[in-house]
Homo-oligomer: A and B are copies of this chain.
Amino acid sequence: MRLTVLSGPSGVGKGTVVAEVRRRHPEVWVSVSCTTRAPRLGETDGVEYHFVDVEEFTLMVKKGELLEHAMFAGHAYGTPRAPLEARLAEGVPCLLEIELQGARQVRAGVPDARFVFLAPPSWEELVRRLTGRGTESPEVIGRRLDRARIELAAESEFDAVVVNDDVTRAAARLVSLMDTD
Contacts and interface: CB of A to CB of B under 8 A. Distances in A.
Interface of A: 36, 54, 57-59, 61-64, 68-71, 74, 76, 101, 104-105, 107-108, 111, 143, 146-147, 149-150, 152-154, 156-157
Given A61-B153, A153-B61, A146 B111 contact: no
Nearest to A60: B153
Given A61-B156, A101-B70, A156-B62, A76 B150 contact: yes
A71 to B, nearest CB: 6
B154 A61 contact: yes
A58 B150 CA distance: 5
B105 A146 contact: no
Contacts of A147: 71, 74, 76
